[in-house]
Structure 1
Amino acid sequence: MTQATAQTRAFVTGFIPAIALLATVAPAHADLKICNRMSYVVEAAIGIDDKAATATRGWFRIDPAMCRVVLQGPLTADRILLNARALGVYGSSPIPQNGSDTLCIAPNDFVIAAARQCRQGQTAAPFTQITPTQADDGNQVAYLAEDSEYDDEQARLAGIQRLLVIAGYDAAPIDGVDGPKTQAALAAFLKSRGLSPEIVQSPNFFATMIDAVQAPSSTGLTWCNDTPHKVMAAVGTDDGKTVTSRGWYGIDPGKCLHPDVTGQPRQIFSFAEAVDADNRTIRLKDKPLNWGGATQLCTRESKFEINEQGDCGTRGLAATGFAAVDMSGGGKTLRFAMP
């Protein structure tokens, strides 16, 4: 895998669905806040463009229906720009964010003073210019929103529904609408973790849910990363009619993840590989550090969901060796470890 294509994959898997920035022109006043009306826990980065100098800073983690101060004091910069990404627990993100400015970011928390010339360990990402509105508290605010246009209450509930589905509970559809199905799934989740219903209103509830999703499970497929490297994984399913491959899912060191496998497929397949900070495949003794098998399924460097598995190469895809996963016990945890 080349560095350029690896960076492309990291770019697509790191960004959240079509972001609508709900903002209009307003005078600068006090702190700048980013508010999340999406069904994803997101991490935001800002770009500050001032007098021909551009800096970036991130990441600011923001739960659904929550706001976060990302810049203190009056807005004096010529332009403020925004980039956001969903947490890796959500797997392959939907539509990448679009933006007219390409600025540098880093995988972990960062401050980059000269953000238009990326150095080692940094990657280029699109940033969107925002023009915040003035909120009732005097702060400037910009919103992250989905096409569903959730309000705060709906965004929070949709965020809970989404994590319940990832954890293996039937809370679909993810629509931000409460009902018996969502309540039953939530009650089952709380009971299985020994949690009281009161914790749902806790400000740390999303962190609790994400920790649960990233822990091994007795049902469904779980990937656990026991290496010191980030792992990118893909899943394949065979329902008897169609074989579908889907990726990429990012799994941080020491974490687990449940890919969103729906229905009851006859067979599940798995492939994973370790990557470095620049999202290049880790190689040991000139061999890629990966975990796969003999079943050839189609993949690509960017986010993908492929329903036809023949002639991968002629269609501009890669034929990748997946391993069949034995799910006869009802659940399977695959642990990725150093050889």
Structure 2
Amino acid sequence: MARHRMPFSWSFSPMAARARSSTHRLASAALVAAGLCLAATAAQAETRLCNRTSIVTEAAIGVMASDTAATRGWFRLDPGQCRAILQTAEAPGRLFLHTRAIGEPQNTSLGQPEHVTLCVGEGDFLVSGATACARPNTRMVAFSEVRPTVVEAIAVLFLSEAADYDLPQARRAGIQRLLARMGYDPGPVDGLEGPRTDAALRSFIADRALPADAAASPDIFDTLLSAWRAGEGPGFAWCNETGHRIMASLGVDEGGRIVTRGWYRVDPGTCLKPPVELGAARVYSFAEAVDRDGRPVQAAGKPLVFGGDIPGCVRPAEFEIGGTDCAAHNARATGFLAVTFDGRRRASVRFRE
């Protein structure tokens, strides 16, 4: 599958290069790793990472001195949020950053240049000797070298979109983006206030029975992400409750015939909303489980598929097929499940083993 790329580039505020002492160049793995540890109390000097994008982001940082490196993560940053990532404004070596998008398709590229590959873990991790992975549940990922702006002993790195949001705009744009992914139609993701965004937010708050001021809550992005992962909101959603990757195909009625399109990737534990016309009375769904290499998963000696009895066509690669004459399109015939929307314009298919 091709990597998704977001329609923006990431930028980092520059600073003048500083000469590093021989002590930094000869730092040991333990010393470098110690430099990544945050103080238990607020420090006078620190390095902050600020998210001026509309994407909920997790970040890992790396410090490299001579041929020694250490990494630490993950730091969750909601749109419009800043966090301290170092207890000093001067890293004990070259500073690197790796980020990953939350609430976007897996393998979404955030547009960062790749300068070095370092080892990361999961959860709250600290990896010394990070130029290679030697422990379970770790992996190598690409990092970008970054240089913060330092003002009055505070160093700041910004994650920025081409839209160049300020922090409050980034927060609003982040809310808009997740509302849109759930089908609430907040209008363009622009970080600006407007009646469509207000109406979409009111609908979401009412559907979840939240307080009227929920948008101002510090946990609003947790609430939005939880709802998105559960497939909530208007429209049609696939939700994958298996341990396998699911490749799904969607069928819609167009001009009296069924048009099928695929494939849509639905990772384990996530939901996905494919594009569906607002006036559609029903949709048709077919899906199959695949392994890491894209091969069909077998269950009881047969491919693990999720469909129904409505005839439709699919092909191995990306496709759009009108009608049910599969042979004419060099496709195979299969059975799709008919899915009807409820009175609130909602429908979902949950894949379970």
- For the criterion TM > 0.5, the same-fold answer is yes
Distance change in 2, residues 1:269/1:145 (3 Å): farther
Map of 1:40 onto structure 2: 55
Unaligned ranges ≥5, structure 2: 19-43, 323-330
Residue number in structure 2 paired with 1:324: 336
Name the SS of the counterpart of 1:46 in structure 2.
strand
In the alignment, structure 1 residue 271 sits paired with structure 2 residue 283: no
CA distance in 2, matches of 1:148, 1:233: 33
Unaligned runs of 5+ residues in structure 1 are 1-8, 300-305, 311-318
Q: Give the direction of change, closer, same or farther, for the CA distance of 1:95–1:74 in structure 2 (3 Å limit).
A: closer
Counterpart among 314, 318, 328 of residue 296 in structure 1: 314
Q: Normalized against structure 2, the TM-score is what?
A: 0.72
| Contact 1:104–1:118 (8 Å) recurs in 2 | yes
Distance in 1 between the 2:302 and 2:57 partners?
31
Give the alignment's TM-score, normalised by structure 1: 0.74
Q: CA deviation at 1:20?
A: 1.9
Give the structure 2 partner of residue 61 of structure 1: 76
Question: 2: distance between equivalents of 1:151 and 1:64?
Answer: 10
Aligned to 1:4: none
Q: Is the 8 A contact 1:267 1:324 kept in 2?
A: no
Deviation at 1:282, TM superposition (A): 9.4
Task: Provide the C-alpha distance between the structure 2 equivalents of 1:238 and 1:247, rounded to a whole number of angstroms.
Answer: 15
Residues 104-153 of structure 1 show CA distances to partners (whole Å, capped at 9, x for unaligned) of 334544332232323554333221100001246x3211111111111112
CA 1:249–1:67: 2 relative to 1, 3 Å: farther
Runs (4 or more) in structure 1 with deviation over 6 Å come to 279-282, 285-289, 319-323
Which whole-Å CA distance do the structure 1 matches of 2:163 and 2:105 have between them? Answer: 20
Would you say the 8 A contact 1:17–1:93 is kept in 2?
no
Amino acid at match of 1:245: G
The structural deviation recorded for 1:158 is 0.9
The equivalent position to 2:164 in structure 1, one of 129, 149, 165, is 149
| 1:261 maps to 2:275 | yes
Specify the SS of the correspondent of 1:90.
coil
TM-aligned CA distance change 1:76 to 1:184, over 3 Å:
closer
Residues of 2 paired with 1:93 and 1:321: CA distance?
30
Cα distance, 1:211 vs structure 2: 1.4
- Where 2:340 maps in the other structure, the secondary structure is coil
SS at match of 1:32: strand
1:94 positional shift: 4.9
Picking from 250, 263, 280, the partner of 2:267 is 250
- The code of the aligned residue for 2:350 comes to R
Distance 2:333 2:61 in 1: 39
Question: How far has the Cα of 1:168 moved from its partner?
Answer: 1.6
AA of the residue aligned to 1:144: L
State how far apart, in whole Å, the 2-side matches of 1:325 and 1:220 are: 16
Q: How many residues align?
A: 306
For residue 60 of structure 2, what is the amino acid of its counterpart?
A
Task: Give the structure 1 partner of residue 196 of structure 2.
Answer: 181
Say whether the 8 Å CA contact 1:16–1:85 is kept in structure 2. no
Following the alignment from structure 2 to structure 1, what is the Cα–Cα distance between the partners of residues 155 and 181?
Answer: 34
Equivalent residue, structure 1, for 2:15: 25
How do residues 185-224 of structure 1 correspond to structure 2 at under 5 angstroms? 185-217=200-232, 219-224=234-239
Secondary structure (helix, strand or coil) at the match of 1:148 reads coil
What SS does the aligned partner of 1:209 have?
helix
- Spell out the pairing of 1:109-148 with structure 2 (5 A cutoff): 109-119=124-134, 121-135=137-151, 138-148=153-163
Residues 244 and 226 of structure 1: is their aligned pair in 2 closer, same or farther, counting only changes over 3 Å?
A: closer
Write out aligned runs for 1:94-109 (5 A): 94-97=108-111, 98-109=113-124
Q: Give the stretch that moved more between structures: 197-206 or 279-288.
A: 279-288
Q: How far apart are residue 41 of structure 1 and its match?
A: 0.6
| 8 Å CA contact 2:70, 2:130 repeated in 1 | yes
- Relative distance call for 1:143 and 1:244 in structure 2 (3 A) is farther
**How many Å separate the matches in 2 of 1:51 and 1:323?**
60
The residue type equivalent to 1:214 in the other structure is R
Q: Which amino acid aligns with 2:340?
A: S
Could you say if the C-alpha distance between residues 125 and 184 of structure 1 is closer, same or farther in structure 2, counting changes exceeding 3 Å? Answer: same
Three-state SS of the structure 1 residue aligned to 2:170 is: helix
